[in-house]
Structure 1
Amino acid sequence: MLITLLALSMTASAKNGLVDTLHQAPVDNPILHRLTPTFTTDYVQLGKISQHWFVGIQGGASAFIGKPLGCGDLFDRTTPSFNAYLGKWLTPNVGTRLSFQGFKYMNSELSKTSFQLVHADLMYNVANLFRRSSDNMPKWDFAPYLGAGLTHGYTDLLPDGSKERNFQFALTYGVYSRYHITPHFFLSGELGGFSTFRGFDGIGERGKLGDNMFSLSLGIGVNLGNPGCKHVIDPIPYINQNDYLLSYTEKLEKANKLLTSQHNIDRKTLDELKKILEIEGLLDKYGYLFDDSENGKNNYRGLLSLRSRMRNMNGDNHSFIPESLAETPNVLNIPIFFFFKLGKAELTDNSQLINLDELAKVAIEHQLKVHIAGAADSSTGSENINDKLSQARTRFIAKELQKRGVPTEKMKGVSLGGIKEYDNPKDNRYSKVSLYLELDEQMMNGQKTE
């Protein structure tokens, strides 16, 4: 017996070491949870050539300031202006547009003259530098721009009295902003201007820069096609999660190999111990220690030796009673358990009914009494529910034995209610059946009889 206890102690110690190894793996690490996609700030998935176009019109006021300056202040030089444009965003930050601007302006002599300007601009949306990347359409855009084009502000008179347009190079600049009412419609505003040569208004020295036009305008616009750019999902968190899972899987595989190796050692140890007990004639006494049945099931090894015990009893040999049950000498066998499904008076495995056949045969053949104790798991259900459930499980076994010919007066049942006898909750969902030579009523004290 000392050898048995020592071997079991060593096995338990080894298993605890393996469990500690498994617990080192941080199962609750947040990286194991489902990741929320995040978007990169540097990469976007560009759309088709037909996508991300926009068009708009604006109206406002413009003021001409040239060299020579001439008479009048800024308000004297202010006139209405018009602007129309067509553009495309190449990326969420960079865009380009072609714009037409024109109407009337006051030259240095405060004479109202027509002008036109056609220019191409390169825009940079600085608003994206101050917000997180997202697939949602942003409300605001703020884009400084710089460009170039052709303009003219007066008409040369030829000697024959005809007119000739005087086109000049112009440098454009400004700030363009818009606010999205919907993904496709927006309000726009612009503060800009252009600089060109002094001959723009026909007054001043030609060939030198010096004439400027400044404008402030508001308008509306429309996004054509898909208005937004799709941002690329940042792969770094997923790469990190994949690397962690690979590492964690390797740890589990190593722990599994250790457990498998220890299991094989345990099995060999138990086989050797069983041989020792069999040689010493103690296998019947301590054989239950080697019961390797699963939780919630029973292999009913006690039934296999019950008939031989009865034969020994009929031969007036009572040595079959285990020492551990010496205080209750009427008990013929270690109790047989029948396990039930959660919340039901229904066996987890109907094959258990075969063992009831054997119990019924032995009880009838030797005119034994049957004691049935039904129980429920206290970790689930209320006290009232568990009382009713344990009673139902007792009645279930009693009815099954009655079907197999055991007289009702030979059976006695008790309800244990909700119990916590075993660590595994499903091991407490049982009906326990014991056979007696004479039912010792004192054993029933404190228990509720069916």
Structure 2
Amino acid sequence: MKKGLLFILLAAGSVCLSAQEKEGKTYTVETNRFGANWFISGGVGGQVYFGDNDSKADFGKRIAPAVDVAVGKWFTPSIGLRVAYNGLQAKGATPNANDVFVKGGTYSNGYHKQKWNLANFHGDVLFNLSNMFCGYKEDRVYSLIPYVGAGLLHSWSDPHFDELGVNAGLINRFRISSALDLNVELRGVLMKDAFGGKSKEGMAGATVGLTYKFKKRGWKGISTVPMVPESQLDAMRDRMNSLKNENDALKRDLVDARNKKPEVVVQKEVVGVAPRLVVVFNIGKSSVSKREYLNIESVAKAIKASDKTYTVCGYADKGTGSAAYNLKLSKKRAEAVRDVLVKEFGVSASQLKVDYKGGVSNMFYNDASLSRVAIVEE
């Protein structure tokens, strides 16, 4: 008996382990009202009686038809109660032709055949180990449900006997739909001095059947909240207090900023300082394009507002043309910018000097085209 119970618990543990890997979450549930989670089940199969002399007959010849009918209710996803009927017929063997229930001749070893109609009325406590150890999951395909109970066994055949019995079994439940399950039930019952015997007797059976679950069925699941260590809670409280203090400080700063009188900022204009001017030329050209005039004009104003002398220096792209050509081209570019400053925008020629460097490597941003320039600076 202990080995059987250990096997059931180990089986439940293995089922739960694989189920947890697939489900990922466990659930607690809200208890339903009394009218919810009722069910009715029925099944057919076979059963074997174990009496004083039954071992004298072949096991296969002692199998009798069996019928199961039960009505019950689940009070939680793990605990339920049911009242059930098991029975129909039982077969046995006896050496005495005058024993009870002798019917149908003898076996090959001379023992007389026994057969009688039998009913087992009992109440059981059901334990859904899958829900108990794995957490409730409404669409779980397989559930392992052992049960224990007690009841009354009655023989319908003459002479009538009534015996008390202890029942135990295992229901393998397979979900078909929200309302219907397929059940494979293994059961046993133990009796004392039953049906004419002189020692403890019992009966084992196996049936296959269906269970219909009445509405309201199922349970409302609630995700379980994991426990948080106290040290982690203290750290969270400290962080919350720190954030609260920072928030209070920001509120005070905001109030101060609102009450503070606006400051008048006087920006002094710097006169007489001209920014550096870079005029870009097309390849091989020394003529100033009109698009450069806007920049030249602003620099010209600053030069005229000062008494300083500025240098206009010309450059060419070293990678294009000979050194002599680039030197000549860079000079022309410097002179062209000087002429625009003087002739177009009225800068005094005495404030301008001309210089030229010939061909140079990339001056700006590693771009050869930006070496084709003339630069005006102090």
* Structure 2 match to 1:108: 93
Partner Cα separation in structure 2 for residue 141 and residue 179 of structure 1: 7
Tell me the distance in 2 between the aligned counterparts of 1:138 and 1:239: 32
Q: Paired residue for 2:68?
A: 83
Candidates 125, 138, 141, aligned match of 2:140: 138
Please say if 1:255 is aligned against 2:257: no
Residue 100 of structure 2: aligned partner:
none
Q: Provide the C-alpha distance between the structure 1 equivalents of 2:293 and 2:137, rounded to a whole number of angstroms.
A: 73
Q: Which residue of 1 aligns with 2:50?
A: 65
* 1:204 has 2:194 as partner: no
Report the Cα offset of residue 67 of structure 1: 2.0
Alignment equivalent of 1:151, drawn from 150, 153, 161: 153
Residue number among 167, 171, 186 corresponding to 2:166 in the alignment? 171
Listed as ranges, the gaps of 5+ residues in structure 1 are: 1-37, 158-164, 275-286, 291-300, 306-319, 330-408, 415-433
Which stretches of structure 1, 4 residues or longer, exceed 4 Å deviation after superposition?
Answer: 38-41, 154-157, 236-247, 256-268, 411-414, 434-444
Q: Is the 8 A contact 1:67 1:198 kept in 2?
A: no
Taking a change above 3 Å as real, the CA distance of residues 57 and 255 of structure 1, as seen in their structure-2 partners, is same
Call closer, same or farther: CA 1:260–1:141 in 2, change over 3 Å: closer
Residue deviations 1:347-369 (CA, integer Å, cap 9, x gap): xxxxxxxxxxxxxxxxxxxxxxx
- Cα distance in 1 for partners of 2:250, 2:131 equals 55
User: Is the 1:39–1:231 Cα contact (8 Å) retained in structure 2?
Assistant: no
Per-residue CA deviation, residues 265-308 of structure 1 (Å, 9 max, x unaligned), is 9999x99xx9xxxxxxxxxxxx8xx6xxxxxxxxxx65xx7xxx
Matched with 1:180 is 175
Which amino acid in structure 2 is aligned with residue 144 of structure 1?
P
Between Structure 1 and Structure 2, how many residues are aligned?
255
Q: For residues 251 and 222 of structure 2, what CA distance do their matches in structure 1 show?
A: 45
Give the RMSD, CA atoms, in angstroms.
Answer: 4.6
* Residue 149 (structure 1) shift: 0.9
1:117 counterpart = 2:120 = yes
| Aligned ranges 1:302-317 → 2 under 5 Å | 302=267
CA 1:47–1:94 in 2, change beyond 3 Å: closer, same or farther?
A: same
SS in 2 for 1:178: strand
d(CA) in 2 for partners of 1:255 and 1:119? 70
Q: Deviations over 1:2-28 (max 9, x none)?
A: xxxxxxxxxxxxxxxxxxxxxxxxxxx
> How far, CA to CA, are the matches of 2:184 and 2:249 in structure 1?
71
Amino acid at match of 1:250: N
Q: Which residue of 2 aligns with 1:99?
A: 84
Q: Specify whether residues 154 and 245 from structure 1 end up closer, same or farther in structure 2 by C-alpha distance, changes over 3 A only.
A: same
C-alpha displacement of 1:250: 2.7
Identity %: 20
The structure richer in helix per residue is 1
**Offset at 1:113?**
1.0
Cα 1:245–1:189 shift into 2, 3 Å: same
TM-score (ref. length: structure 2):
0.54
Of 26, 33, 56, the match for 1:48: 33
Q: Cα distance 1:111–1:83, how it changes in 2: closer, same or farther (>3 A)?
A: same
State the alpha-carbon separation in 1 of the partners of residues 147 and 40 from structure 2. 16
Q: Which one has the largest radius of gyration?
A: 2
Aligned match of 1:195 in 166, 177, 190? 190
Q: 1:72 Cα deviation (Å)?
A: 0.8
**Residue matched to 1:326:** 273
**Alpha-carbon distance in 2 for matches of 1:90, 1:130:** 17
Deviation readout 1:43-98 (Å, 9 max, x if unpaired) = 43111212222221111111111124463122121111111111211112111111
